Structure formats: structure tokens, C-alpha cells
Amino acid sequence: MATRRSGLGRGLEALIPKSDDIRTGFAVIPIDRVSPNPHQPRSLFGEEALASLAASILEVGVLQPIIVREAEEGSYTLVAGERRWRAAKKVGLKEIPSIIRESDDRSLLTEALVENLQREDLSPLEEATAYQELLDDFGLTHEDVGNRVGKSRSAITNSLRLLQLPAAIQGKLERGELSAGHARALLGLEDRKFAEHIAERAVEEGWSVRQVEDAVRARNQAVGERNTGRRSVAARPAAIVELEQRLRDQMATRVRIKYANDRGKLIIDFSSLDDLERIYRQFFSA
């Protein structure tokens, strides 16, 4: 498989707004000189989600700079990127890449990020991380982001699903050892350790996306048979299987339908309280 240079340098360049009226400069600054924004509307940051982001930063680095403005000489206040800042501190980073801006005009910053998303050749993981920033720091919905970058809501949702992968798989994706197709196939596995095992084999043996899909399907079938006393998973009605897949795409998470004798259970996974709220809003959105 073709490999690519780590996305850190290129991704940072891609996401730095180019116009002088949007930013004053880029710098790598001491992380302990950055303070959170006292006006940050988001006050809860789930520990599980932060731990996952911290693991990703250890594996692939900080893919996007945080946005700060100078407070006093040598110190800075966050404008955007508090989750990345917190996660970077969690793993012990001493410095963090930053865009230093003179003002706090969030609408200008949003438009600058959207413009760069439309223009630059980002890796799949860099693109997903940029979408997540627009959701976290600017309160946009999946549909809002899609409208702004000219993509469907489902395309945004599927891109964001890549951030649910274990950090080790994210690293392989960012280094170009796995494609986005390989990565999306691995999202179908509940067992994260086994997903990492399949990813390792796919890299070492040069598997195609179809081979990864087949391995995921075989694993899920074996687990299903074991959990149902060796009954074949193939006996599930096709309509149930199709509905399960549609719900996975819609919810951007793992969904399982357990069905027998016209009764069953719907099980929807979530990775944090924030993720649970996102899923809840999808059920009750217009």
C-alpha cells in the first residue's frame, strides 16, 4: 500500500487561515501558557471522550492547531480547540501548535476553516477532525457542516465515524497504510482489539478493502453463532439486516437488532455523554 508523510505538518498548513485579517500568525507555544476561554459555552468534557482523543494525539499528533488570542505578554486565551488542549495536556505535551489571532470573531474563523476544508487536500482523518472542530467549537450540526462544505449530512456523519476507531488504527490511516475504505470496514467490529489485529494483518499482507470486509463479516458471524447457540446468523430476515445497516449510517455508531419471533431489542452504542446527546437529538430532530 502506498504510504504518505504524517499529516501533522501538511494538515496544520491546510487549516491555517491564509488571510491576514483572519489571523496574526502560527506558532508552537508552551501549553501551560494557554488558559481556557471563560466564555466557552461548553462546560462538560466527557472523560472517556477525552481519553480517546488523548490516545489519538499520542498516535498521530495534534492534527489541527488550537486557536488562541494573546492575553498578556507571553500568555494566551483559547478561542477554539479546548478538547484538543485538554487532551494534549492529559498526555503530557509541553507545547501545542496554535494560530494566534487578534480578535475573537468566531464567524470569520468558521468561514476560514470551511474555506480551507473545501480547498485543501486533507487526509480522511484530518478532514474528520476538522468537521469535529466545527461541531465542538462552533455548535454546528452535521447538516450545517454538510451545507457549508457542499456534502451530504450522511457524508459528514460517515467521515466523523473514523474518529471512533482505536488510536492504533487511526495512526495507520493517517500514515496511509490503510485507506478510508479499510477503516470504515473495521468500524463494523465491536471488539476493538480484534479490529487492531485485522488492521495489522491488512497492512502486513496488503489486503484489499473487500478482504477486510470479509474478515469483519466472518468474525461477526462467528460471534453471532456462538452467542445464539451455533444458530446461523444468515437466518436473520434480510429486512432486519438492511434496517440495522441504515440505522448504523444514520446514527454514525454501532447498532444491533436482536430479532426472534416478531420481537427483539434495538441496541445503540455511544462513546460518551456528548455522543449520547447527539444520538438523542437525531431521534427528535425535525
Q: What is the CATH number of the domain that holds 121?
A: 3.90.1530.10
Highest-confidence segment of 20-29, 151-160, 266-275: 151-160
Domain end residue (candidates: 162, 190, 213): 162
The verdict on whether 70 is a catalytic residue reads no
Cell numbers linked to 90: 492529559
State what percent of residues in the chain have pLDDT above 70: 76
62 vs 9: which has the higher pLDDT: 62
Burial, 272: exposed, middle or buried (Cβ in 10 Å; 0-12, 13-18, 19+)? Answer: middle
246 and 231 fall within a common domain: no
Higher pLDDT, 192 or 73: 192
Domain-located, residue 1: no
Residue predicted with more confidence, 283 or 13: 283
Are 174 and 125 contacting, i.e. CB atoms less than 8 angstroms apart?
A: yes
The alpha-carbon radius of gyration of the chain (Å, integer) is: 20
Q: Are residues 55 and 122 in the same domain?
A: yes
Same domain, yes or no: 38 and 22: yes
Out of 8-17, 150-159, 225-234, pick the least confident: 8-17
Q: Is residue 168 part of a domain?
A: no
Pairing of strands 34-35, 76-80: parallel
Question: Are 38 and 125 in a shared domain?
Answer: yes
Collapsing DSSP to helix, strand or coil, 99 comes out as strand
Is residue 27 domain-resident?
A: yes
Instruction: Say yes or no: 141 and 189 in one domain.
Output: no
Catalytic entry in 70, 73, 82, 200 = 82
| List of E strands, the chain | 25-30, 34-35, 66-70, 76-80, 95-101, 255-260, 263-268
Residue 111 lies in a domain: yes
pLDDT at position 233: 46
Give 90-133 pLDDT, tens digit per residue: 899 999 998 887 765 666 566 656 666 665 567 788 788 878 87
Q: Would you state the pLDDT for residue 106?
A: 61
Q: Residue 281 pLDDT more than 60?
A: yes
Q: Which residue has the higher pLDDT, 83 or 22?
A: 83
Q: How many domains does the chain have?
A: 3
Residues 109 and 136 in one domain: yes
pLDDT of residue 109: 60
Cα–Cα distance for residue pair 8/13, rounded to 1 Å: 9
**Angle of helix 142-149 versus helix 153-160 axis, rounded to 10:** 110
The pLDDT, as a whole number, for residue 194 is: 92
Q: 158 and 61, same structural domain? A: yes
pLDDT band at 39 (very low <50, low <70, confident <90, very high): low
204 and 82: one domain?
no
φ, ψ of residue 92 in degrees (nearest 5)? 90, 20
* Residues 117, 149 contacting (CB under 8 angstroms): yes
Q: Which residue has the higher pLDDT, 141 or 170?
A: 170
pTM, to two decimals = 0.56
**Burial of 129 from C-beta contacts in 10 A (0-12 / 13-18 / 19+):** buried
**Are residues 248 and 211 part of one domain?**
no
Which whole number is the average pLDDT over 254-261? 81
Tally the residues of the chain. Answer: 286
Provide the pairing of β-strand 76-80 with 255-260: unpaired
Q: What is the pLDDT of residues 42-87, one digit of tens each?
A: 555 667 777 888 888 888 888 778 888 888 777 888 877 888 898 8
- 64, part of any domain: yes
Domain region containing 141:
7-162
Bridge partners, 77 (sequence order): 35, 69
pLDDT band, very low/low/confident/very high, at 19 (cuts 50, 70, 90): very low
**Comparison of pLDDT for 2 and 94, the residue scoring more:** 94
Q: Please tell me whether residues 105 and 146 are part of one structural domain.
A: yes
